Amino acid sequence: MEAGGEHVWLCPLCVLVIVTATALLMLRGRGGRSAAWAAGLMLVGVTVCCVVPAGCLVLAVLSVCYTVAHFTAGREEPLLPAHGKSVLITGCDSGFGHSLAKLLDSAGVKVYAGVLKESGQGAQELKRLSSSQLTVLQLDVTDTNQISAALKLIKSQIGERGLWGLVNNAGVIGYMCDGEILPIRLLRKTLDVNFIAGVEMTQAFLPMIRQAKGRIINISSLAGDVPFPGFAAYGSSKAAVISYSGALRQELSQWGVKVVVIQPGGFKTNILGNQDEWIQVQKEILSTLPQEVTEAYGKEYIYSLQDCLSFMYTHGSSDMGPVLEALKHALLSATPRAFYYPGQAAWAIPFIHRLCPTWLFDTMFSNMFRYNKSQPAGVASKK
């Protein structure tokens, strides 16, 4: 407390606000994740209030904001009718796109599910289990001819009604490795699939979307907002998606078209690839790197890089519910948000990134998110 009693009333009042807010959260959470967050918030808030009186007001405001946001998010919002709307989704072979196609089909939306391999298991499952309203399309988003064929088919079927939604979901992660040893071929492919292809899809279908005053949903990533070691290619491509979407959102608002970014946290999908693909990339790295760079990193370190992908796949969340709920809301809400952050820490980490000084963020997160504990040979030899 400061002399003169300037903060004598402030600290107890702020403690009361924090305790009240967290108590409401605990009652609403009933022992679930909300209750755990509430208990942690109360413990930290009260402790800091007792030690640092100047921080009381800020913590109280944050407590109230968190409580309001939680209660608001929990409200049921009436959605627009699904029937009569048509949505095109790319990357429906598996993962988010596959699950979203099923969800929208069951809700009564006419779904065009673009797949990389029409003969693949995911495509066949969609054909077998979905209604006649769902059409599976052979659609490699990097192939201009296939995009044109899809456009012609969809235009012939829905005509003047226009296309209500385009979900640019198709993507690849490429490979997790240091930016210096990242094969340029892989960087170009990642940018092409994750960013350029989405731009081409958007330009091709925008006239139909404008007819319906519909919406464009672009799937980005936490890595597009926050730089992580090993994600030079993937993060760059998703950062481009965020920037492009922001410009498009402002430009298309005058047409009544809404542009939304979905920015998930870590989920378990096939975007990570498989063991055979990882081995092929390792061989490419070792065969194309200059000798001095290979020696600096060492073969042992390069071989260990695939452990990062194994770790991510093992620890990613298999519950796609939060992402599907965000996508459904983005497509069918009368007032969709510009950004959605489904998944654990999907909004918290970008917030911390913006709040922290660069040196502090790098110190904390470069170690926290360095899934590969090995070190390049040149670094290890200096210790």
SS3 12: helix
User: What's the CA gap between 286 and 291, in Å, rounded?
Assistant: 9
pLDDT of residue 358: 87
| Residue 341 Rama label (left phi>0; alpha psi -120 to 50; beta) | beta
pTM: 0.79
DSSP string, 346-371: TTHHHHHHHHS-HHHHHHHHHHHT--
Catalytic residue among 66, 112, 175, 234: 234
| Residue numbers of the chain with a pLDDT score lower than 50 | 1-10, 26, 28-36, 39, 72, 74
Domain ranges of the chain: 3-73, 86-368
303 catalytic per annotation: no
Q: Which residues contact 318 (CB under 8 A, 6 or more apart)?
A: 267, 268
| pLDDT tens figures, 276-326 | 777 888 889 999 999 999 999 999 888 888 777 666 656 566 678 899 999
Give the alpha-carbon dihedral of 98, 100, 104, 109, to 10 degrees. -70
pLDDT of residue 18: 56
pLDDT of residue 11: 57
Radius of gyration of the chain (CA): 24
| pLDDT tens figures, 61-104 | 555 555 555 554 545 678 999 999 999 999 999 999 999 999 99
pLDDT of residue 56: 56
Element (H, E) at 206: helix 197-212
Instruction: Please give the CATH superfamily to which domain 86-368 belongs.
Output: NAD(P)-binding Rossmann-like Domain (3.40.50.720)
pLDDT of residue 311: 65
